Structure 1
Amino acid sequence: MLHIENITKYFGGLTALEDISFFVKEGIIEAIIGPNGAGKTTLLNIISGIYAPDKGSVRFKGLEINNTSPYQIAKAGISRTFQHVELFGNMTVLENIMVGRYLRTKAGLFACGFRLPSASAEERAIKRDSEQILEYIGLSHRRNEKASSLPIGEERKLEIGRAIATEPSLLLLDEPASGLNEVETSDLSFFIKKLRDQKNITIILVEHDMRLVMDISDSIVVLDFGKMLAEGTPQEIQNNKLVIDAYLGEDEEVCL
């Protein structure tokens, strides 16, 4: 589904990523792990069109998307969340989901937002679809509450819900467990696996919580100082001496 080939990215004199290559198969959860500063979020920014690579290519379903805008990449079927939750705090939970649905309308956000006659039917469909998404993610009881009033675990769910409202085939999750307690993380783990298994959404997960990574990942890529250190199944990564020495060994009891 997604082919990362020889991706290199510079920021001034700093090499953030160097010659990164791997392939993400459809229908899996691919985790990207590594210490802070390894280049994980930079790689997600390249995939989602926020950054352009200085070298290499990104191909999604056979099409190169290197010089494609984030909007067009989202239209093509790639959606994402961010390290810090990016919600519209003054809008309701339902309205936040509806924002994601507008990407799939013919009339667009402007026409729907101003209640133009041509958009009235689509507006009703957007609301109906958004209600269904809220039911799916377990937040229908919060539909009329302000997004800013939600606890962090529900904020994370809402952000993912808005992302899947765009109907992606590939979902990029950037540290979704950040700030969550053990119960919330367990709930998130179940939810992410449900997206893969029920919605057939391929997922790329950047995460520091190794219990979560090892529990839900089908494949793992390890980055270290902008270079690719290893790739394999969770078991292979746990037994890889280079990975243990560079990263997992920092918290061996949790990771192994």
Structure 2
Amino acid sequence: MTAQTQNVPEIELNNGVAIPQFGFGVFQIPPEDTAEAVRTALEAGYRHLDTAQLYDNEQGVGQGIRQSGLPREEIFVTTKLANDAQGHDNAITALEGSLQRLGLEQVDLYLIHWPLPHQDKYVRTWQGFEELLHAGKTRAIGVSNFQIAHLERLAEESGTVPAVNQIELHPALQQAELREYHRAHGIVTEAWSPLAQGEVLEEQVLTELAGKFGKTAAQVVLRWHLQIGNVVFPKSKTPDRIRENIDVFDFELSDEDIDAIGRLDAGHRTGFDPDTFRG
């Protein structure tokens, strides 16, 4: 076990399953490069992998897991439902396809990728997710890009609170109200686009903190995510960057540092608005 693995904290989900707080994302990693990137990440100490049906690289994730030689139970695997597969029956069938591509009997977390409110299918989709959870096809179920109104509707029309909500979250889009809703309802916040696709890394407060700690601005932001309680999974296919990203457990931001980063919040999205995105 590497030093980084020993230092990565775990968060207990609302059904008792533990999720590593720091993971490896494979969004936009080409399928032909995915296995090698995953293998490199696992060698560097990552034990949490985040993929999706839409990424078209689940097969590479599974290949990388097998090539790593690590026991399956040491690796937390998330995948997400494709937007065109929403609906009760489709959601169940789609996970079977993911399991085949991954070469796994079970994922650790299955997410509805987008609410797509114009389709009005996410409640029926969630009911299919509940069946998959009870059948043991996934250890936990959650959502991605859900707003408070979408979460409230799930609460009213189902019996299972999502374990996580994976949302765009970075210093320029801190989503305080949504994060507080999560906290109050036992939902873990996961951050996608944690570095705002690099847009925030030239901010003076981040470059000054990077100099203070002898780290990069990206490492400062990733440390900020951890300290405010987010699950975070930066993505890269560059081996040095993969190793650099997880090297964030040997320094700690002060309350003043965190407050300074908090002042960067501008409500700025780099991705789609969940209320209007149509898939």
TM-score, reference length from structure 1 = 0.39
Higher RCO by CA contacts (8 Å cutoff, separation 6 or greater): 1
Point out the structure with the larger strand share.
Answer: 1
Bigger radius of gyration: 1
TM-score, reference length from structure 2 = 0.37
